[in-house]
Amino acid sequence: MKTRIFRAPAARYYAEDILEGPDVYDDGGLADLARDGFNGIWLRARLRDACRTAVFPELGADAGRQQERLNQLGERARRHDVRVWLYLNEPLCFPADHPFWKRHPAVKGVPGSSGMDDWPRTFALCTSHPDVQAFLRDGVKELFRACPTLGGVFTITRSEHHTHCWSHVAGEKPSGCPRCDARDPAEVIAEVTNLIAEGMHAVAPDAQVIAWNWAWDDWQTRIIDRLDRRVIVMADFESGGRKVIAGKERCINEYSRSYIGPSEQFLTAHRQARARGQVVFAKLQIGTTHELATVNNLPLIPNLLGKARALRRLDVDGALCCWNFGNRLTLNTWAFHRFVTDERLDGKSDDEALGAVAREYLGVTDAEPVLAAWRWFVKAFDHYPFHRHFLYSSPVNYAVVYPLPRPGDADRPMPWTWIPLQKPYGTRLRETADHPWGQTGFTLEEYRDAFAAMTEDFAVGLEAYARALAGNTRPAAMRELRNARVIAHVLRSASNIYATYLLAQAEPFDEPAWCEIAADEAAHLEDLASWLRGETEIGFHSEASAWFFTEPEVREKIAALRHHLRHAPAKENVS
């Protein structure tokens, strides 16, 4: 695997990623990334800010400073054999009332919105118009001429950001643009990346363009067929997979550490791209995912080995190993590097490969207790009630500070979990099963039972982990054990949340049963609070760039629970 791209947890996707880049990636951080096997880092770029073009001359007023910062970081990174990649989601729309439309009304595309930019009313830039095509081609050409150290770009062409006219259209219904509706949407989507590749290769023939298949859905085959053969196809490794959970086969429709993969969707893209002579990359998250994004990593190391074996078997050339979260250097990143670079891996059993990682990274002599713990962790996460809507709306990422539901709670919608949390918290836990976007296929009872089972199995693994690492003073081992302890508490709180929510919905309300769960919640959170003391990593959500739980907030929840239990009627007081 020639290329492995990662990102620093301090990098801020929603800020000025390029301007902040040299401050985020110092020599020490770049050396640490290289040590764990990464030779690429990525920054989000907005083309209209990073370059100047003749077609839209008013854009890019600060391009000189952006290019200066890119060159500064590129030179520094090159000393560590690391290259800088740009993430492009182009052509980014403008708000409907932006002065750009008065100057260039002819390039106005379909109306829409761009929630990730906080723009409720927007217009796309129509990529069927020659001026927009020139902007994409000439803008990238100018940028790579000015910044010769750049390794390349990867593109998303359908996302939460509003870009071209087909970017937010589902299925085969028309986009609403007369120019684009006369064309196959796959042609329009492929053309965006092809124009970027044309401009880049004109001045940097060795730089690479990666087309990410995010949300291509039923158009995937037609899009790949229309891509320039020099463009690398990067496919989501897990999305589109199938897994039996709670007795039913479920769709894996997001990144997953609990599912190994590859999905059939990945394999289809892989086969097609290879048949066309194209290089293939994988998109996966090797640290953590939305399954639980507020810990350092999910230590499901046997699953990580399974992913690495599949990537090697398929001869995948590179991987984007994180998104804008799940990007701390931990046991997971070190183990992944070990697996994909071990020339003898194919001749080793799983226990041999895993045992080597346990001994080398954690410093244990006897690896078997560690391997036993990892197997239990995997077993626990096999119960995870996986669905995209649940991942995006459930309180799992902040379960340890989420109040246990009670009858009469105010009615508030559940917030999205990739943005900073709003308080008071949402209360409509029913939405995590039956969401306005659609049903997840799980019941609230299945959520309760899933997290109860996860709590039980993970606790067995944690006990083995604690025994295996007892007396181990290696900082990496102590950090991993603390991380696992926090995961155990999060799972227990998630189980208690759904259990009390179901009690709160029932008639009559069973106060003694609620108090029993509340007492359990207060007791285990006391232990968690001690592990969070002085914590500078766990509890932070990198995508939201915000803390989702801290020791003081956990102690506030404990105090509220203790207060309620003290004032419960005597026969119901179980504190």
Same domain? 181 vs 210: yes
Q: What is the reported pLDDT for 65?
A: 98
Same domain? 358 vs 384: no
Last residue of a domain, one of 311, 331, 362: 362
Residue 185 lies in a domain: yes
Same domain? 466 vs 390: yes
Same domain? 316 vs 355: yes
Same domain? 273 vs 379: no
Same domain? 334 vs 381: no
Task: Name the percent of the chain lying above pLDDT 90.
Answer: 96
Q: What is the reported pLDDT for 570?
A: 61
Residue 29 lies in a domain: yes
Q: What is the reported pLDDT for 173?
A: 87
Q: What is the reported pLDDT for 571?
A: 54
Same domain? 485 vs 505: yes
Same domain? 139 vs 223: yes
Domain membership of residue 255 as a residue range: 3-91+130-362
Residue 116 lies in a domain: no
Under a CB-based contact definition with an 8 Å cutoff, are residues 358 and 371 in contact?
Answer: yes
Q: In whole numbers, what is the pLDDT of the chain averaged over residues?
A: 96
CA distance 154 to 389: 26
Q: How many domains does the chain have?
A: 2
Residue 28 lies in a domain: yes
- pLDDT of 28 > 90? The answer is yes
Same domain? 202 vs 334: yes
Q: Residue 247: left if φ>0, alpha if ψ -120 to 50, beta else—which one?
A: left
Residue 118 lies in a domain: no
Instruction: Please compute the mean of the pLDDT values over residues 302-309 and round it to a whole number.
Output: 98
* Confidence grade of residue 526 (pLDDT, cut at 50, 70, 90): very high
Query: Residue 166 belongs to a domain with what CATH number?
Result: 3.20.20.80
Same domain? 81 vs 199: yes
The pTM of the whole model exceeds 0.85: yes
Instruction: Please compute the mean of the pLDDT values over residues 183-190 and round it to a whole number.
Output: 96
Residue 19 lies in a domain: yes
Instruction: Give the tens place of pLDDT for each residue, 244-298.
Output: 999 999 999 999 999 999 999 999 999 999 999 999 999 999 999 999 999 999 9
Convert 292-305 to b/e letters by CB count within 10 Å (16 or more is b): bbbbbbbbbbbbbb
Edge to edge, what strands does the sheet with 119-125 contain? Answer: 94-95, 119-125, 108-114
CA distance 194 to 144: 15
Under a CB-based contact definition with an 8 Å cutoff, are residues 232 and 241 in contact?
Answer: no
Residue 106 lies in a domain: no
Last residue of a domain, one of 319, 335, 362: 362
Residue 97 lies in a domain: no
- pLDDT of 575 > 50? The answer is no
What residue type is 106 in one-letter code?
A
Q: What is the reported pLDDT for 569?
A: 76
Same domain? 135 vs 190: yes
Same domain? 482 vs 352: no
Lowest-pLDDT range, 32-41, 214-223, 358-367, 432-441? Answer: 432-441
Q: What is the reported pLDDT for 564?
A: 96
CA distance 101 to 122: 11
* Confidence grade of residue 171 (pLDDT, cut at 50, 70, 90): confident
Task: Please give the structure tokens belonging to residue 390.
Answer: 């649940």
CA distance 571 to 515: 11
Instruction: Give the tens place of pLDDT for each residue, 333-370.
Output: 999 999 999 999 999 999 999 999 999 999 999 999 99
Last residue of a domain, one of 312, 338, 362: 362
Q: What is the reported pLDDT for 172?
A: 78
Task: Please give the structure tokens belonging to residue 310.
Answer: 């599949």
- pLDDT of 436 > 80? The answer is no
- pLDDT of 426 > 90? The answer is yes
Q: Please tell me whether residue 560 adopts helix, strand or coil conformation.
A: helix
Instruction: Please compute the mean of the pLDDT values over residues 136-161 and round it to a whole number.
Output: 97
Q: Residue 240: left if φ>0, alpha if ψ -120 to 50, beta else—which one?
A: left
